[in-house]
Amino acid sequence: MRIRSYIAQVIHAADAVYVIRGITKIKFPNLEFYYPIKKLLKILKQPITESELLTYFDENFHFNLQQIISVLIQNNIIIIVSDTEGTENYTDDEPEAIFYWHFKQTPTEIREKLASIKLAILGINEFSVTLMRSLENAGFKNCSLLFEPNLNMPLDNIKYETIKTPFITPINNDFSSFDCILAVATHNQRNILRVLNKNCLNQKKHFYPIIINNLHAYIGPFVFPGCPACFECASKRFIANIENPSIFQAEQQSEKEITSTFINGYHSCMVDAVASFACIEIINNFTGLIPPLFNKITDICLINQQAVPSKIIKIPGCFCGTQQMLNFHNSKKITLKNLIPDLIDKKFGIIQRVSRVYPELYIQDIHHYYAYTCNTNMFCNQNNIRYSKGVAISKERAILKAIGEGIERYCSAIYDKETLLFSSFKNIKKNALSPEHITLYSNEFYQTHPKYSRFNHDTKIRWAKAINFKTKTEVFVPASMVYLPYHNDPDESKIIQNISTGLACHDSYETAAIRAICEVIERDAFMIFWRKQLSPPLIDFNSLPINIKNILKNYQSRGLDIKLFNITTDINVPAVLALMESNRTDQPPLVMAGACTTSAETTILSALEELELSRQYGAHLKKQKIEISKIDSKIVNTQKDHVLYWHNKKNLIHLEFLKKSKIIIDYNNFSKIDLPIADDLLQILANKVFKAGLDIYLANITSEDIASLGLFVIRAILPNAHPLSFGYGYEQFACARLNSVPIHLGFTVKNSILNKTPHPYP
């Protein structure tokens, strides 16, 4: 066995001896190794056996020498060569040789690989010509410039004769003789690249797009058959994050009227920079110097001296291949927290940005964040609610809540209405949720709300698929109870309000389902206590855990008084209603919020976080100085109206029933109903719901891009629970639970008149 060394630098520093080649730096703490290492590397300029090598060194140093050789072999400074390798002069000191050495490759090996690849560059322009030169110099010997009129740009001073390869005119976009198609376009020519992207995928060819957009150049993504994301994905993600997409679309339309497509501004230095960057990336993608990240686009801006990579996640319904779980995190457990870098990107992200909000009245240790999501209208016919907020007692939790809500609203808006079954219950009754099992409105309601139709066996609506959790079978449920927003077509009956109750996002299906179910339980509990004007037990302040006490004291010091009520129903899962009152002129006089989880402490903390979110919204509305005296209960219609109605202190009299309760319960007694921490927690929760006579339907509405990240968005439907509703006159007094639950809880209900006063929930 023979060995030889690559050329390397040996440095005698104050603390150690260093052997350096390229970016590799090997440290030897023993300063006495300096001269032996220099001697060793000099001898090993030519191949030699280890036994021959030992003869050059004192026998007492042989052990150390063998240790040094071992370390240098591990770091690729010394290599083992074959017995047949000659003693010719090596060119290890050439820059290209040192560059490829980092990846345990040689220029000869790389050039042999590149020479076999057939590349085509579309369009005759300054960028394509410069890119052609770079590729040929790098070792691509099979390059062709294809004449594409739509991508041609002014060449200015570029001389055609400097190009080694003649121009070729492709026939019918047939790229069968090439391995990869490269194309450079201006930003208003991206539709041409979209067509090329699809053609290449159909022909199972690689595609590498470059867009020049004035000060910016966007390079990639590298597209290939079965790729995790393609140019179509990148293009639509980009448009989905534009603040005003209509401007972009108008620009695309006006482009048809412009004779010269090259209305762009860039510096000549940008040409070489883009060509060099693209050349290196193409080399890496075809040789695997480092594991390539194919679903990536790089934004190069020379004026900012930045090259910013963005991860592109496949858009829902794209033709680029089968969606698969994207292994971004290797051995890391997939969590929403770990996925933040993949989700957030101001130009190409599912979440465009996450920012902290500072309320004018700051409460210590309460964090406000908002998330702004991309526009789903680029992937479907619906516009999602793009703005979401998260408030929590920790920064991380607030961020995750904002992102989670944004993803819920994102997924709930992505659906194709044309693929949903349009039928009546009568025609699919064996596999559908019966109208009799859904809490609807009274007969009088339909007389005053002509847009709504009573849901019966003959009513034609669109249906979505869900799982009946009791029977574990797939059934159809009304699509308007699953998706948000949902707009009924003219031929489709509107049967119920379309709101977000029961939406939840998590990296675990079970946890997402639990949270979704709990939100329905919380709103069912609140509406029963509200409509029946029940006075719930007050949770004793002195018995609360110290962390909750401290939060309440922070509010009290700001003139904000909070009461916590136990609104747990027959389901026997912790549910809390938080009520905040204030005499401050800059704050709403009354704010309310609720929560339900499987733990009493978490329920209270969640209720307080939601209360803070409601307070901040109420304070924002109060600052607008809206004439609240004109908001009569009978004209309350929107969520905003519900909040403003309670800004009028004259209406606070309608809340007296809530505070009449003389029952005060100890927190320790309240926490006894906590559900156990168990692997089958979802089933334990479901059994409690079933015992109360309620049904559970779970719709997995996770869009394919979100699913590829390992996340779940679930819509829970408890059709016979009392739903949260908005607007005066939208009362669902036909709900049987309005009578059964108070009796179960031991309330004596003397007044049979149900409460029509608009609730304070935002």
State the Cα–Cα distance between residues 413 and 380, nearest whole angstrom.
Answer: 8
Tokens of 9: 């630098």
State pLDDT tens for residues 120-145. 998 888 889 899 999 999 999 999 88
Amino acid at 587: Q
State mean pLDDT over 42-48. 92
State the Cα–Cα distance between residues 643 and 638, nearest whole angstrom.
Answer: 9
CATH number attached to the domain at 109-311:
3.40.50.720
Instruction: Indicate the domain borders of the chain.
Output: 2-89, 109-311, 417-498
State mean pLDDT over 528-540. 97
Quick one: pLDDT band at residue 149, thresholds 50, 70, 90?
A: confident
The pLDDT, as a whole number, for residue 655 is 94
State pLDDT tens for residues 250-305. 655 554 444 445 567 788 888 999 999 999 999 999 998 888 778 999 999 988 88
Residue 711 in contact with residue 407, Cβ under 8 Å? yes
The pLDDT, as a whole number, for residue 393 is 95
In 246-394 the beta strands, taken as DSSP E runs, fall at 296-301, 306-311, 351-357, 367-373, 387-392
Neighbours of 125 (CB within 10 A): 25
Quick one: pLDDT band at residue 31, thresholds 50, 70, 90?
A: very high
Give, for 468, the enclosing helix (H) or strand (E). strand 460-468
Tokens of 702: 């996770």
State mean pLDDT over 520-524. 99
Q: Compute the mean pLDDT over every residue in the chain, rounded to the nearest whole number.
A: 91
Cβ neighbours for 246, distance < 8 A, ≥ 6 positions apart: none
417-498 folds as: Herpes Virus-1 (3.30.40)
Half-sphere exposure of residue 170, counting CA atoms within 13 Å on the CB side?
21
State pLDDT tens for residues 404-444. 999 999 999 999 999 999 999 999 978 999 999 999 998 88
Share of the chain above pLDDT 90, in %: 77
Residue 21 has pLDDT above 80, yes or no: yes
Cβ neighbours for 572, distance < 8 A, ≥ 6 positions apart: 673, 688, 692
The pLDDT, as a whole number, for residue 259 is 41
301-305, 522-526, 618-622, range with the lowest pLDDT = 301-305
Residue 470 in contact with residue 690, Cβ under 8 Å? yes
Question: What are residue 212's DSSP bridge partners?
Answer: 186, 217
Residue 249 has pLDDT above 70, yes or no: no
Quick one: pLDDT band at residue 326, thresholds 50, 70, 90?
A: very low
Phi and psi at residue 466, to the nearest 5°: -150, 170
The pLDDT, as a whole number, for residue 267 is 82
Do β-strands 78-81 and 2-5 pair in parallel, antiparallel, or remain unpaired? antiparallel
- Specify the CATH architecture of the domain 2-89: Alpha-Beta Complex (3.90)
The pLDDT, as a whole number, for residue 291 is 83
Q: Is the pTM of this model over 0.85?
A: yes
State the Cα–Cα distance between residues 354 and 448, nearest whole angstrom.
Answer: 43
> Does residue 718 sit in helix, strand or coil?
coil
Phi and psi at residue 120, to the nearest 5°: -130, 130
| C-alpha triplet 380, 384, 386: angle, nearest 5° | 135
Q: In what order do the strands lie in the sheet with 664-665?
A: 590-596, 575-582, 560-566, 538-539, 664-665
Residue 76 has pLDDT above 50, yes or no: yes
DSSP, res 320: S
Residue 70 has pLDDT above 80, yes or no: yes
249-253, 378-382, 387-391, range with the lowest pLDDT = 249-253
Smallest CA-to-CA distance from 350 within 299, 411, 296 is with 411
> Does residue 17 sit in helix, strand or coil?
strand
Give, for 510, the enclosing helix (H) or strand (E). helix 509-531
Quick one: pLDDT band at residue 331, thresholds 50, 70, 90?
A: very low
The pLDDT, as a whole number, for residue 323 is 47
Residue 657 has pLDDT above 80, yes or no: yes
Residue 276 in contact with residue 131, Cβ under 8 Å? no
The pLDDT, as a whole number, for residue 168 is 57
Residue 330 in contact with residue 360, Cβ under 8 Å? no
State mean pLDDT over 365-381. 95
